[in-house]
Amino acid sequence: MSIQRINPGPRMSQAVVFGNMVYLAGQVGTPSASIQGQTESILAKIDALLAQAGTSKSNVLKAEIWLSDMSHFAAMNELWDAWIDPANPPARACGESKLATSEYDVEIMITAAKI
C-alpha cells in the first residue's frame, strides 16, 4: 500500500491517505476572524481536502475540535451542525485548549474513510 500526502510542507502534510483512511492535519481558519468566521473557513478547507483525497464529509469517522475557550461552543456548533451530514455523524470530541497562537479560536482535525 502506498501513502499519498496532500499539500505537504516542511513540517506536515495537510492530509495523508493510507489505504482507505484519510487523516487531516488540524485545520485553522482565518486568523482573528470571529469564531463563526474561523469555523466556516475551516469547514471549507476540510471539504476541499476530503475532495482531494477522494472522499466527503459523509465518510468522516472522527472529529477532534479544540476551542480556545468553551464560551465559543454554541457558536461553533451552529456551523458544525449545519455542515455535518446528519445521516452520518462522526464520533467527536471537543475541548478547550491553548492553540498555536492567540489569533486562533478553533482547530478541527478529521479522520475519514474512503468508500
CATH number of the domain encompassing residue 79: 3.30.1330.40
Range of the domain at 109: 3-113
Span 49-68, average pLDDT: 98
Q: Under DSSP, is residue 70 helix (H, G, I), strand (E, B) or coil?
A: helix
pLDDT at 61 (0 to 100): 98
5-21 pLDDT, tens digit per residue, is: 999 999 999 999 999 99
| pTM of the entire predicted model | 0.96
pLDDT at 1 (0 to 100): 78
Helix (H) / strand (E) containing 37: helix 35-52
Q: Which residues in 25-64 are b (16+ Cβ under 10 Å) and which e?
A: bbbbbeeebebbebbbbbbebbeebbeebebbbebbeebb
Which grid cell is 13? 502534510
What is the torsional sign of CA 67, 8, 89, 44?
positive
Cα radius of gyration rounded to whole Å, the chain: 14
Number of domains in the chain: 1
59-92 pLDDT, tens digit per residue, is: 999 999 999 999 999 999 999 999 999 999 999 9
Contact criterion met (CB below 8 Å) for 9 and 76: no
Q: Under DSSP, is residue 17 helix (H, G, I), strand (E, B) or coil?
A: strand
